[in-house]
A and B are shown apart, each in its own frame.
Chain A
C-alpha cells in the first residue's frame, strides 16, 4: 500500500500541445493518501481514464511526475509499479480455469504455489467464487467474468494501489450493489489504496471516503461526499452532484446584496467581505434541498421572493417544484407532506446555503 503523489502532472495526446484545449489532463497537484478509498467522478471525456492509466503506468505523462511513497515511478512500466487495475469490460483468460485466472498475477511473479493456493482461495471466498474455481472461465456470464477481473485485482496483497476503471458498467443493477458492498468490505478489511473511476455519482458517493470530481481535464474539487454536497467548490460540482443539481443563476452584486433579474437576495456580511471586488461572470447557486417554498399567502418580507410555480413533479418520496421569477428558474425539493397549491408562492433562500461563484469558482 502506498501514498501516491502527482507532481505538477499534465498530459496531452498531441506531440506538440499548444493551448489548454490540447491537454486531456491539465496541470495538477494531487495526493492520494495511503489506504484511502477514492472515487474519481466526472462526465465522459473529462480525463478520468487518462489519469488512471497514468497512475498505473499504461500511459507515460507528457509533463510532471508520479511518486509512490516518495519514489519516482513516472518512467516505470506497469508490472514494475506493482499496481492492480480492473477495467470497464471483463478481461479474462479464456483458456484458463477460474483458479488459474486468479492465480495468474501471482504465478507471473514467481510466488510459491502453496501461497498462491491459500491466497486464491481467500479471494475466491470473499467473492463467492469458490464453487467455480475448477470451471473454465470462458463459459461464465459477464458479471461472473467481471468478478474474476476484480479478483485478479485483489489477489496480490502487496500492491501499491488498486485502480478501478468503471468496473461495474456491465453488471446487472442488483449485483452492482452486492459487488460494491464487497469492495467496501474488502477495503475495510485490507485497507488498500483504492481509486475508483465512475461517472455515476451514487456509485462514487457510496464507495468512497473522498471523492475527486474532474471536469474538462481538471480536478475541480476533492472532498467527502458531504462536502461536495454542502459546499460545491465549482458550479460543475453543484450541477453534477445531487438530483436535481444545484440551481445556478447569473447574478450581480450591488448595494450589499445579490441581484437576480431585479430581485434582491440578501447575503451575509462574511460573504460580502469575501466577495470584495470579485470579477468575472458571477453566479448564484443554491441546492433545491435548501430552498424553502411557502404558500402565496405568506408574508414576503425582507427575504422572500414571490414566484410563479411552473410545475410540480411528484417522485414518491419528495416533490420537485419548478418556480420562476423574472427569467430565472429555480427548482425546489419539497417534502411529501407539504402541500403545493396554487400558481404562485414565496421562496426563501437561507443565507448559509447561498453560494456565489465567479467564473464558476466558489468565492463566497
Chain B
C-alpha cells in the first residue's frame, strides 16, 4: 500500500494538542518542576535530583497509607462490583418500577461528596446519629471517633452506599441490551439460572463491568473528601488514605518538593494499574476471537 505523507496533517492535530497541553501537560510539568527542586523563594532554588523521590519512597508513614489505600480500594471493589451486579439482576425490567428504581438509585450519586461525608458523620454518631444510636442500643459498642475498626467500616459502608448505584446502573444498561431471544433460547436449552448468568448475562456485561471497575478503582484510590469530612483521617491514622496524606504534606506542612514527587508516583500508580487492567481484559477478549 502506498502511504501518502502530507505534513499539513499535523496542523489538524494542533488544536487538540494545545488543549491537552494547557489542561494536562503544563500543570503536570509544574509538578515535575517542584519534584526535582528545593524551592525556598522565587530567587532561591536548588536542583536536588531524585532526593525527594527517595525520601518519599522511604517514608514509612506513606507505606502505611499506601497499604491502607490498597486494602480500602480492594474492599470497595470486592463489595461494590458483586453487589452492583446482584442488584442490577433483581431490578424490574418493565413497568413503573423501572423509573422508580432508577430515581432511587441515582439519588446517592447526585449528592455532593462533602455532603455525603456530613450525612454519615451525623448518621454514625453514637449520641445523636440514627445509625450509631441504634447500634449502641442493640448492644453493639460502636464509635467511629474512637475505634479505628469502626471508623474504617464506616468509611467503607459510606462508599458502598454512595457508589454501588453507579455499578448497578452500568450493569443494568448492559443487561437491558440482551435480546429476549437469548433468555428464550436458554430456557429451551434447559439452562439453569446460574448458567444463564454465567454464559449470557456476564459475557454481555463484560464491557460495562470493565468501565465500572476502572471508575471505581480510580475514584476510590483517590478518595479524599468523604473520609476527610467524616473522620478527618482518624482515629490516629486509621482512615488516612493517600490523598489525605498528600494534602497534609503539601498544604499542612508545605513540603512542596516531596509532595510533588509523591503526586507523580501516585499518578503513575493509577495510570499503571488502569493500563494493565484494561490491556489484560481487552487482550483476553481478542484472544478469544481468534
Chain A residues with a Cβ under 8 A of chain B: 53, 56-58, 77-79, 83-85, 87-89, 91, 93-96, 104-105, 108-109, 136, 138-139, 149, 152
Contacts and interface: CB of A to CB of B under 8 A. Distances in A.
A108 B289 contact: no
A105 B192 CA distance: 11
A152 B190 CA distance: 11
A89 B187 contact: no
A93 B200 contact: yes
Given A79-B190, A139-B290, A87 B184 contact: yes
B199 to A, nearest CB: 5
Interface in B237-290: 288-290
A156 B278 CA distance: 40
Nearest to B182: A91
B97 interface: no
B70 to A, nearest CB: 30
A79 B199 CA distance: 17
B105 to A, nearest CB: 27
Contacts, number: 63
15 contacts: A58-B188, A78-B184, A79-B189, A84-B188, A85-B184, A87-B184, A89-B181, A91-B182, A94-B204, A95-B203, A104-B189, A105-B189, A108-B189, A138-B288, A139-B288
Given A58-B187, A95-B203, A104-B191, A138 B181 contact: no
Interface in B138-189: 179, 181-182, 184-185, 187-189
Interface string B188-225: 11111001000110011000000000000000000000
Given A108-B189, A108-B192, A95 B184 contact: no
User: Residue among A93, A96, A136 with the most chain B CB within 10 A?
Assistant: A93
A85 B188 contact: yes
Contacts of A56: 188
Contact of B185 (A87, A96, A136): A87
Interface string B38-59: 0000000000000000000000
For the residues of B in contact with A, the DSSP-based class is helix
A58 B182 CA distance: 12
User: Residue among A83, A95, A139 with the most chain B CB within 10 A?
Assistant: A95
A89 B180 CA distance: 11
A95 B203 CA distance: 7
B289 A138 contact: yes
A115 to B, nearest CB: 16
Contacts of A93: 199-200, 203
Contacts of A88: 181
A19 to B, nearest CB: 26
A78 B185 CA distance: 10
Given A85-B184, A85-B185, A139-B290, A94 B192 contact: no
Given A87-B181, A88-B181, A89-B181, A95 B189 contact: no
B188 A96 contact: no
Nearest to A139: B289
Contacts of B181: 87-89, 91
Nearest to B285: A138
Given A89-B179, A91-B181, A108 B191 contact: yes
Contacts of B189: 79, 104-105, 108, 152
B66 to A, nearest CB: 36
Nearest to B204: A94
A194 to B, nearest CB: 15
B239 to A, nearest CB: 40
Contacts of A136: 288-290
A83 B289 CA distance: 31
A108 B199 CA distance: 12
Nearest to A82: B190
A95 B191 CA distance: 15
Contacts of A104: 189, 191, 199
Nearest to A155: B189
Nearest to A91: B185
A88 B179 CA distance: 11
Nearest to B192: A108
Nearest to A84: B188
A79 B195 CA distance: 14
A78 B187 contact: yes
B179 A149 contact: no
Given A78-B188, A95-B199, 5 more contacts: A89-B179, A104-B199, A136-B288, A139-B290, A152-B185
Contact of A109 (B179, B190, B199): B190
Contacts of A85: 184-185, 188
A25 B187 CA distance: 23
A109 B195 CA distance: 12
Given A87-B181, A95-B288, A139-B290, A108 B195 contact: yes
A93 B179 CA distance: 13
B200 A83 contact: no
Contacts of A77: 187
Nearest to B198: A95
A331 B289 CA distance: 54
Nearest to B189: A105
Nearest to A80: B190
Contacts of B199: 93-96, 104
Contacts of A78: 184, 187-188
